[in-house]
Amino acid sequence: VQLQASGGGLVQAGGSLRLSCEVSGRAFLSSHVMGWFRQAPGKERVFVGVISWSRGSTHYGDSVKGRFTISRDNAKNTMYLQMDSLKPEDTAVYYCAAAPVRSVITPMTRFESESAYDYWGQGTQVTVSS
């Protein structure tokens, strides 16, 4: 299984950017959730949001709620992170990751932790200028 993140770049504050994460292995996706994390310079990697591939339900970190939207395209095996109203504090390397769903009753909040994920993409840099 491979995850390929792309779409990062430089954008002005208030602007928008869309990241993509292409996943190899269609069968793999039906049993996993896909998440986004980010890591700013000198800081720990933090949770951005997650999507259940089978149900399409989403859950977001507090700092991005109302500004970021996660979606997926089944035909393209690709997850997206639409980022609007970007702020300088959104500057970070963004990573996509995949976590197995071990039970149908697992709450989405479980996937806020890095430890839930077993596959990671390589990261894509997002820089927001003020």
Compute mean pLDDT per 10 residues along the chain, 130 residues long, and list them.
Answer: 95 98 82 95 97 93 97 94 98 97 87 95 96
pLDDT at residue 106 in the model:
85
Helix (H, G, I), strand (E, B) or coil at 114: helix
Query: 129 is written with which tokens?
Result: 């200028």
Q: What are phi and psi of 90, to 5 degrees?
A: -85, -5
Please name the residues in contact with 112: beta carbons below 8 A apart, sequence gap of 6 or more. 47, 50, 59, 61
Cβ neighbours, 10 Å, residue 34: 26
Q: What is the DSSP string of 87-104?
A: -GGG-EEEEEEEEE---T
pLDDT of residue 102: 85
Q: For position 2, what pLDDT does the model report?
A: 92
pLDDT value of residue 26: 64
pLDDT at 31: 87
User: In angstroms, rounded to a whole number, what is the distance separating the alpha carbons of residues 5 and 63?
Assistant: 21
